[in-house]
Amino acid sequence: MQYLAITPKLGAELEPGTELTSFSDAEIEELKLLAAERGVVVARDQTMDVHSQVGFGRRLGALMETTVNPPEIPDELIVIKAGPKSKSAAGTAWHSDVTSEAVTPGLSMLRMEQVPDSGGDTLFADMVQAFDALSPPFQALLKGLTARHDSRGHYLYRSGAKRLDELPSSNHPVVRTHPLTGRDALYVNAAFVSCINELSKTESASLLAMLYDHVAYSVSFQCRVRWAPNTVVFWDNRVVQHHAAFDYYPDARLGYRLTVVGEAPTLATAN
């Protein structure tokens, strides 16, 4: 699959003229592997609507659903919307999608229909490089730890639940292994992780703060995607975190995201 690298190790933009809806089954598998290896895959000038996006998404795997969409929006999509009346926007902190689930997301696919003239970029951080940048003794420490991932309020209304304690919490390894590449990646994020299970409250808070700063400030393993109408971006939640810049108020931004079911995170014992 031909692409232009966004950075040497992170991100791939598919060559102009690539039409996702015409992909063969073999090309779908290539896309999954490319996302696993590069973390982020960008496809420009796609001809899709909400229904063809869901149809394509089903070819990637089973899809997560929400129960609160209006009838014209398929349950597999989350509407990403901000405008002149918005005081905030979705995803404005470093995170990986819905890690509070026992079976966490694999790929996410966001298709943007309306974007501001400038701003509204999405930043991505490579959790494989983030883990590799740590010293071997620190890597060994992290591989022996697990973290508790709790649901947050912004997912409450999408679930149909009435209280946060009705939503799932899960324990996952602090370092997980990608099932396709066999590479290890850091797997804690500020949006969902409440604590490191094996540490005291003070130790947990200090370690998590250090790891979150490591992700946020290490620009050498980040990339930035600028949106245009009809751009589609895939990211592999197993190996990247993302952050949506809300710097375009009062302009409008509208898109649709679907999320492919992945697997329960594990760390390969051979590593």
pLDDT of residue 161: 54
Both tokens assigned to 220: 């050498």
Look at residue 124 and tell me if it is in a domain: yes
Look at residue 266 and tell me if it is in a domain: no
The contacts of residue 130 (CB under 8 Å, 6+ apart) are: 185, 186, 214, 215, 218, 221
Active site residues: 95, 97, 242, 257
Looking only at Cα atoms, what is the longest distance across the chain? Answer: 53
- How far from 164 is each of 126, 156, 225, CA to CA, in Å? 30, 6, 33
Cα separation, 172 vs 145, in Å, equals: 9
| 46 neighbors 16 (Cβ within 8 angstroms) | no
Look at residue 14 and tell me if it is in a domain: yes
Look at residue 271 and tell me if it is in a domain: no
Look at residue 78 and tell me if it is in a domain: yes
Chain centroid to CA 173: how far?
17
Q: Is 254 helix (H, G, I), strand (E, B) or coil?
A: strand
Cα separation, 94 vs 165, in Å, equals: 23
Q: Check pLDDT > 80 for residue 154.
A: no
When pLDDT is averaged across residues 233-237 and rounded to a whole number, the result is 98
pLDDT of residue 159: 53
Comparing 92-106, 173-187, 197-211, the range with the smallest average pLDDT is 92-106
When pLDDT is averaged across residues 210-217 and rounded to a whole number, the result is 98
Strands 193-196 and 146-150: antiparallel
Look at residue 11 and tell me if it is in a domain: yes
pLDDT of residue 257: 96
Q: Classify the C-alpha dihedral 155-246-149-107 as positive or negative.
A: positive
Q: Count structural domains, the chain.
A: 1
Q: Check pLDDT > 90 for residue 271.
A: no
When pLDDT is averaged across residues 159-181 and rounded to a whole number, the result is 81
Cα separation, 15 vs 177, in Å, equals: 29
When pLDDT is averaged across residues 136-140 and rounded to a whole number, the result is 98
13-72 per-position pLDDT tens digit: 999 999 999 999 999 999 999 999 999 999 999 999 999 999 999 999 999 988 778 889
Look at residue 81 and tell me if it is in a domain: yes
Q: Check pLDDT > 60 for residue 131.
A: yes
Both tokens assigned to 55: 């149809």
Look at residue 24 and tell me if it is in a domain: yes
Name the DSSP letter for residue 267.
-
> Tell me, what CATH number does 39's domain have?
3.60.130.10
Instruction: Assign 155 a pLDDT band (cuts: 50, 70, 90).
Output: low
Q: Which domain holds residue 15?
A: 3-261
pLDDT of residue 157: 46
